[in-house]
Amino acid sequence: METQRLLSEPAPGISASPSEENMRYFNVMILGPAQSPYEGGVFKLELFLPEEYPMAAPKVRFLTKIYHPNIDKLGRICLDILKDKWSPALQIRTVLLSIQALLSAPNPDDPLSDNIAKHWKANEAEAVETAKEWTRLYASGA
Partner 1 sequence: MFGNYGQRYIVLTEKDINERQEEDIGKVSAVLSIRREEACVLLHHYKWNISKLSDEWFADEEKVRDIVGLLLNGIDLPNSRKLTCGICFEGYSSDVMSSAGCDHFYCHECWEGYISAAISDGPGCLSLRCPDPSCGAMVLQNMINKLAKDDDKVRYARFILRAYVEDSKKTKWCPAPDCTCAVEFVSDGNYDVSCNCKFSFCWNCTEEAHRPVNCETVSRWILKNSAESENMNWILANSKPCPKCKRPIEKNQGCMHMTCTPPCKFEFCWLCLGSWAEHGERTGGFYACNRYESAKKEGVYDETEARRERAKNSLERYMHYYERWASNQTSRQKAQADLQKAEKEQLAKLTDVFGIPETQLKFIIEAWSQIIECRRVLKWTYAYGYYLDDKVKSEFFEYLQGEAESGLERLHQCAEKDLQSFLTVRSDNTEPAPSIAEFGDFRVKLAGLTSVTRNYFENLVQALEAGLEDVHSTAQGTTSSNATNIPSKKAVTKGKTKKQLPRTSSDNSDEGWPCERCTFINPSSVDACSVCDKHRY
Q: Is 81 in the site for partner 1 (CB under 8 A)?
A: yes
Q: Is 1 in the site for partner 1 (CB under 8 A)?
A: yes
Which residues have CB under 8 Å from 63's CB, separation 6+? 44, 45, 46, 75
Q: Let me know if 78 is a catalytic residue.
A: yes
Cα–Cα distance for residue pair 58/86, rounded to 1 Å: 9
- Range 10-49 burial, b when 16+ CB lie within 10 A, else e: eeebbebebeeeeeeebebbbbbbeebbbeebbbebebeb
Q: Which is nearer to partner 1, 18 or 54 (CB)?
A: 54
Q: Is 2 in the site for partner 1 (CB under 8 A)?
A: yes
Q: Is 52 in the site for partner 1 (CB under 8 A)?
A: yes
Among 7, 23, 34, 55, the residue binding partner 1 under the rule CB under 8 A is 55
Which residues have CB under 8 Å from 51's CB, separation 6+? none
Q: Is 50 in the site for partner 1 (CB under 8 A)?
A: no
Q: Is 90 in the site for partner 1 (CB under 8 A)?
A: yes
Footprint on this chain of partner 1 (rule: CB under 8 A): 1-2, 5, 52, 54-56, 81, 85, 87-90
Residues belonging to the active site: 78
